[in-house]
Chain A
Amino acid sequence: EDKVVQSPLSLVVHEGDTVTLNCSYEVTNFRSLLWYKQEKKAPTFLFMLTSSGIEKKSGRLSSILDKKELFSILNITATQTGDSAIYLCAVGRSFGNEKLTFGTGTRLTIIP
């Protein structure tokens, strides 16, 4: 059975800290790994990763994929209170099977 596991489940840090969120997966016909941010309600897309070792960056957020060890990390540097959210990892499969499987998410809380 396909699995996407995120850790930690919950994380509380102070503003300015750096955090690392983890996502491991076991999925048939892997195509891509995705990160989403969910604040109040609807998730919003952050990154898509398809190749190992290539870091994606957007401001203070960055992510990298290891297809050999089947995991990805999402780093957030110099955290701000606006980073407080649930971060979701999802895995997409090869063309022809467009299911997305999500992990349960990491709830990140930034204390001012």
Chain B
Amino acid sequence: EAQVTQNPRYLITVTGKKLTVTCSQNMNHEYMSWYRQDPGLGLRQIYYSMNVEVTDKGDVPEGYKVSRKEKRNFPLILESPSPNQTSLYFCASSFSGRTYEQYFGPGTRLTVT
């Protein structure tokens, strides 16, 4: 089944404890992206990647890191999480010529206390 998977789906952590949210897709998509969704602010793009070893900042990259060492994986790293990073996070992927038709993962609910 074609899908985007994220892990974990729910995470409660404490300020400053490094964490990684994994994202994997099995559709051979070149383009992958991370978003956060907050009430009243909508979906905001954190980082995106056009292909392996090619990443670029979205609208809200501060406090996040990404890497794209393999085509199928695009992990999101929070080196020192803070409470303002409490949010619902989505990973998405698409073919590079169709970046508008993105397939979204199920979401990761992150709470930083």
| Bound CA–CA A41/B109 (angstroms) | 11
Interface contact A92-B99, CB-CB below 8 Å: yes
Interface size on B, residues (CB 8 A): 23
Whether A100 and B40, one on each chain, are in contact in the complex, defined by CB atoms closer than 8 angstroms, is no
8 A Cβ contacts from A33-67 to B? 34, 41-45, 48
Pair B104/A102 contact, Cβ less than 8 Å: no
Interface of A: prevailing SS:
strand
Q: Is the CB of B105 within 8 A of A98?
A: no
| B74 contacts chain A at the CB level, 8 A cutoff | no
B107 to A102, Cβ gap below 8 A? no
A88/B42 in contact, CB under 8 A? yes
Q: Report whether B107 and A45 are in contact in the complex, using a CB–CB cutoff of 8 Å.
A: no
Q: How far is the CB of A68 from chain B (nearest CB, A)?
A: 21
Q: B59 contacts which chain A residues (CB < 8 A)?
A: 99, 101
CA distance A100 to B99 in the complex (A): 9
Contact B40 A104 (CB under 8 A): yes
The count of residues in chain A whose C-beta lies closer than 8 Å to any C-beta of chain B is 19
B23 touches A (CB below 8 Å): no
CB pair A101 B45 closer than 8 Å: yes
A10-45: contact bitstring with B at CB < 8 Å (1 yes, 0 no)?
Answer: 000000000000000000000010100000011111
CB atoms of B48 and A99 under 8 A apart: yes
Given contacts A41-B106, A42-B90, A45-B101, whether A100 and B45 have CB atoms under 8 Å apart is: yes
Q: Are A104 and B41 in contact (CB under 8 A)?
A: yes
Closest to B39 in A: A104
Give chain A nearest CB distance to B97 CB in angstroms: 10
In the complex, A88→B35 CA distance in Å?
A: 13
9 additional A-B pairs beyond A98-B48, A103-B42, beta carbons within 8 Å, are A42-B107, A45-B100, A45-B102, A48-B101, A98-B56, A99-B48, A100-B99, A102-B35, A102-B45
What are 17 of the A-B contact pairs (CB < 8 Å)?
Answer: A42-B105, A42-B107, A43-B43, A45-B100, A45-B101, A90-B43, A92-B99, A98-B48, A99-B56, A99-B59, A100-B45, A100-B58, A100-B100, A102-B35, A102-B42, A103-B42, A105-B42
